[in-house]
């Protein structure tokens, strides 16, 4: 293994059957020298009742980082049409410069995205299965897996069709794990990279997958010239799976890279002081009340984020250390995620219920112990970052977790970071954080107390060190480092 450390009408082009054809179409479509492929693209479209289409540009670290390629005839971002607006835009031929949106059959996408990517691969990577009952790999799983193959084939065909000779192709995440191998068969001339943004499971857990599926996933990724992760831990786990399942020779010809995505300090600081954030900050201060400390978390209600245990730890803090009653507020933003899956709907409801229980048990007329918001609002999240005294980031397992890196950058008075050792961000931030075992409720409660009582000078010192580490590899540099390494 070579190792590197730095930081139906399925598509409008391609083979709808998902089986290999005679190769890519060599028509008049312009060829790109740098291509990015991801399930979600940099833009989305909303179809209004009057038939007009509204364009919205996405945000977040991935979009920011990958947008470093710019736009033009020599760059292309290939993504899926994810909703009615996107599909209507494809049908009308509406497209943003440098973007190719694939209109993949809705049922195929649902099987690939929800059935396999989010209900199998996500669960494997994050070690989320309750193994006495799940997983169950039956005929329905095999049917959905065929859709996952077809979905990946659609991307591979589109990339092969639009890539120039020797182009660099950077494939993103677990939704498209088979693309590198498929694309390698179609276009051996290309330089192919794949980045997995999630954790990678150790071999013993990865082997929960059927043997043929586990091998197919690994071979799919090994079709890339470089396979990359956020941390050395995840990279080593992937290499271990390849060695154990496919044999040590399987890694020859594929380099493994580590690039830990960092926070975009300039953007965050500018965006966090716009008027809409100031307005939300004032509203939050009113909800919290004067002279109170804040414990802030901002997450999607994703099972791996461990929001419920975070709330249980906060309740344990109030029960065991009554001196904090009426002196601290837990500002918890838990934005609903993947609500088309029942297990996620149930989890979101459990978060709401537990927050209500804490407020009922401990709240007073002038103090609400938990300020919970479940409607996504980026400006409000930044407002919470600004007033955070303590940041709670306690995932069961996380590929990176940018919130852990963003809050210290934006916090006005400095914050103490309570950080799970299972977050990818721990690799860069752990030395300056208060580390917790995400399953240990009493230990997390003790860590919250330690964070709340940290002297201001020490908190300020740590915040400076956290910020320096968090911004070491900002999104544009993160992407360009991968591109340069792929071309080397």
How many whole angstroms separate alpha carbon 88 and alpha carbon 83?
A: 9
Other Cβ atoms within 10 Å of 205 Cβ, number: 17
Q: Return d(Cα 301, Cα 352) in angstroms, integer.
A: 10
DSSP state of 93: T
Give the whole-angstrom CA distance, residue 479 versus residue 173.
14
Helix (H) or strand (E) holding 215: helix 211-221
HSE-up of residue 1 (Cα within 13 Å, Cβ side): 21
Rounded to an integer, what distance in angstroms lies between the CA atom of residue 149 and that of residue 304? 26
| Among 203, 149, 210, 143, residue whose Cα is nearest residue 175 | 149
242-245 own/partner pairs: CB under 8 Å, 24+ apart? 242/218, 244/203, 245/203, 245/206, 245/207, 245/211, 245/214, 245/215, 245/218
Helices (H), 305-440: 307-320, 342-362, 378-387, 403-410, 426-429
The SS3 call for residue 8 is coil
For the chain, how big is the Rg over CA atoms in Å? Answer: 23
Helix (H) or strand (E) holding 286: helix 275-288
Greatest Cα pair distance, the chain, in angstroms, is 72
What tens digit of pLDDT does each residue of 232-273 get? 999 999 999 999 999 999 999 999 999 999 999 999 999 999
CB neighbours of 355 closer than 8 A, spacing ≥ 6?
A: 311, 332, 370, 372
Phi/psi for 298 (5° steps) reads: -135, 115
> pTM score, two decimals?
0.90
Enter the DSSP assignment of 369.
S
Extract the residue ranges of the chain whose pLDDT is less than 50: 1-27
CB 475 within 8 A of CB 262: yes
Kindly report, residue by residue over 224-240, the tens digit of the pLDDT: 999 999 999 999 999 99
* Cα angle for residues 218, 220, 226 (degrees, 5° grid): 85
Q: Which DSSP letter does residue 377 get? A: -
Nearest CA to 223 out of 258, 257, 259, 177 is that of 177
Looking at residue 52, its pLDDT comes to: 87
Neighbour count for residue 284 (Cβ, 10 Å): 20
């Amino acid at each position: 293994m070579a190792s590197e450390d730095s930081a139906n009408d399925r598509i409008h082009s391609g083979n709808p059957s998902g089986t290999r054809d005679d190769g890519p179409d060599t028509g008049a479509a312009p060829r790109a020298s740098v291509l990015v492929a991801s399930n979600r693209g940099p833009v989305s479209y909303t179809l209004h009742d009057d038939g007009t289409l509204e364009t919205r540009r996405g945000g977040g670290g991935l979009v920011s980082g990958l947008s470093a390629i710019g736009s033009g005839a020599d760059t292309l971002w290939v993504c899926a049409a994810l909703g009615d607006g996107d599909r209507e835009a494809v049908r009308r031929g509406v497209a943003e410069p440098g973007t190719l949106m694939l209109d993949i059959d809705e049922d195929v996408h649902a099987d690939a995205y929800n059935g396999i990517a989010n209900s199998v691969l996500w669960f494997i990577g994050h070690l989320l299965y309750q193994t006495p009952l799940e997983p169950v790999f039956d005929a329905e799983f095999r049917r959905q897996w065929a859709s996952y193959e077809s979905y990946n084939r659609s991307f591979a065909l589109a990339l092969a069709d639009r890539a120039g000779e020797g182009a660099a192709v950077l494939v993103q995440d677990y939704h498209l794990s088979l693309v590198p191998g498929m694309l390698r068969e179609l276009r051996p001339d290309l330089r192919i990279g794949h980045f997995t943004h999630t954790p990678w499971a150790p071999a013993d857990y990865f082997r929960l997958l059927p043997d043929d599926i586990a091998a197919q996933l690994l071979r799919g990724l090994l079709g890339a010239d470089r396979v990359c992760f956020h941390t050395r831990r995840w990279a080593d786990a992937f290499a271990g799976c390849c060695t154990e399942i496919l044999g040590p020779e399987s890694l020859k010809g594929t380099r493994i890279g580590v690039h830990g995505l960092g926070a975009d300090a300039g953007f965050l600081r500018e965006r966090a002081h716009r008027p809409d954030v100031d307005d939300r900050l004032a509203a939050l201060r009113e909800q919290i009340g004067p002279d109170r400390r804040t414990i802030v978390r901002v997450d999607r209600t994703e099972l791996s984020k461990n929001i419920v245990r975070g709330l249980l730890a906060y309740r344990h803090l109030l029960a065991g250390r009554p001196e904090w009653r009426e002196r601290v507020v837990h500002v918890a933003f838990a934005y609903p995620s993947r609500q088309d899956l029942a297990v996620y709907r149930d989890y979101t409801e459990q978060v709401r219920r537990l927050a209500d229980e804490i407020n009922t048990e401990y709240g007073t007329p002038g103090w609400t112990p938990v300020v919970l918001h479940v409607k996504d609002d980026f400006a409000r999240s930044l407002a919470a970052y600004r007033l955070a005294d303590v940041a709670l980031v306690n995932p069961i397992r996380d590929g990176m977790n940018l919130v852990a890196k963003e809050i210290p950058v934006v916090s006005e008075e400095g914050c103490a970071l309570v950080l799970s050792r299972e977050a990818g961000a721990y690799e860069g931030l752990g030395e300056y954080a208060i580390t917790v075992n995400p399953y240990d409720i009493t230990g997390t409660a003790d860590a919250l107390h330690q964070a709340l009582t940290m002297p201001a000078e020490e908190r300020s010192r740590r915040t400076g060190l956290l910020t320096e580490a968090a911004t070491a590899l900002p999104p544009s540099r993160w992407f360009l480092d991968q591109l340069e390494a792929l071309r080397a």
